Structure 1
């Protein structure tokens, strides 16, 4: 079985440039992750916040021995976005991660990875993507363990990765509900999403936490944590695990996952650590157990 590896996904939220840069500098220096996906994924209007720092972030990550992957947009609606995706796909000296079908079109026959925002629900789909150049696929976070195991057993010919930590990406829209909630429109949003570096909570009419807005993206209120299921996922043939950045100590998150994968920390203790590291959101694992995603299913204990 291949050695277990950790991937740090792209930052979905809008962080100001220095915070974004310093986050990745610390990841480079301290986090036990094998690869890092960088670049704007959610909204092309945010690109200018991080673009000035991208080269030095990549240099720092590479100097620390991390593999660097460049992200593409999850939704392309404008000609300039098409141009940017094409230029990234065709000109990047680093591997590129596709987050929608437009990027896949430009990446055809070029080695690339596929992110969790592309729907890959079975082994034949994975094999098609492999035939077009995909070398690794991060599966959507809503898949149950049985489906993940079936895809791995189908020998798709690519490395499979599972979304193991983070608020789950659920939807993305051409409209910006985040801006609208603050009395703005998308074309003149004034980047109000930057006021909420971990997203804007949405509650039901009964005032129950429900979802979180991140610009044009909707993510889960809960934070998926599969730290207790790493063993089962390994047994199913998964060797790559993705940590999605939240506004918390992601170095500590990575250290916790690495310790569990290496057998140095029990899952129960790891779960307690994660709750302390990221108290802003309840942890969940319902999707993996075939339940509602917001649920947390405790591991069965032997008598």
Structure 2
């Protein structure tokens, strides 16, 4: 099974952004998706660094892919989407409005924000040129297996979300701006204060979710550690790891070792809990009663 690094969901300083992708050159991953997924206002801060990152990753033998925006609402965002295919690398769409901008006959990937819930949708996307689809993270294991089987018949590789805060929703409003009593157009990039998203708690002070500009994320970090054998048996071709601000190269190595059989089930979770005891893990969308549940212990009350 391969490892794919998804696009960075957060807003980091440009130097941090560059250092992160330089670090990925040495990691045992197969492909890297980069670019702006969440908010087009962030892109100018690191846009000129993307070509160098693409070149470095390609030189290291990684497949480099560019993501489209998750929500295209403005004329300049449509223009940015149309320009993606001009970069000469594969494009991953996260909004179906990106499809008309792709040259006919050009293969593309599909990200987890596109609702591929059944074989009919998968077949339709394959007919348009989809070569790889990362399934939405809320699908149970039985659905993953059915779609992986259909993908194999169509020549479409199927990925599953393996690690990281889960993308739940994209809004037209900016939660970070609202929190700081600013308008979306004058957000002053408040989201840069929270490099892994801002924790949101209930009135009872229980962890609930995380916010990231216009994006809502899970509070817990999905972790496929205990489900890797089942996913491999289902025909999944790759796990997707979502960038985080600390220890990410180590996360990549742990998953590679686990996929190669060098680590037993539970080793990834154990190390994460030792190094970051406050991090909550979940794999409930695959096997549990709720997305936030964790298969090896009762869900938090």
TM-score (norm 2): 0.95
Q: Which residue of 1 aligns with 2:87?
A: 92
Q: Secondary structure at the match of 2:168?
A: strand
C-alpha distance after superposition, 1:167-197 (max 9, x if no partner): 0000001110111011111000000100110
Root mean square deviation, CA, Å: 1.3
Provide the rounded CA distance (Å) in 2 between the counterparts of 1:278 and 1:55: 34
Is 1:25–2:12 an aligned residue pair? no
Q: Which residue of 1 aligns with 2:215?
A: 217
C-alpha distance after superposition, 1:191-220 (max 9, x if no partner): 010011011111111111101000000000
Q: Which residue of 1 aligns with 2:68?
A: 72
Counterpart of 1:265 (choices 263, 266, 271) is 263
* Count, aligned residues: 294
Provide the rounded CA distance (Å) in 1 between the counterparts of 2:276 and 2:99: 34
Correspondence list, 1:5-44, <5 A: 5-29=2-26, 31-44=27-40
Q: Which residue of 1 aligns with 2:172?
A: 174
Bigger mean CA offset, 75-84 vs 269-278: 269-278
Provide the rounded CA distance (Å) in 2 between the counterparts of 1:220 and 1:77: 24
Provide the rounded CA distance (Å) in 2 between the counterparts of 1:101 and 1:280: 37
Q: C-alpha displacement at 1:156, in angstroms?
A: 4.0
Contact 1:248 1:278 in 2 (8 A): no
C-alpha distance after superposition, 1:20-65 (max 9, x if no partner): 0001101112x11000001011000000111121122112111211
Provide the rounded CA distance (Å) in 1 between the counterparts of 2:277 and 2:21: 22
Contact 2:173 2:184 in 1 (8 A): yes
Contact 1:123 1:152 in 2 (8 A): no
Provide the rounded CA distance (Å) in 2 between the counterparts of 1:176 and 1:156: 39
Q: Which residue of 2 aligns with 1:152?
A: 148
In structure 2, list runs of 5 or more residues that go unmatched.
none
Provide the rounded CA distance (Å) in 1 between the counterparts of 2:176 and 2:34: 23
TM-score (norm 1): 0.94
Q: C-alpha displacement at 1:123, in angstroms?
A: 1.6
Provide the rounded CA distance (Å) in 2 between the counterparts of 1:279 and 1:62: 35
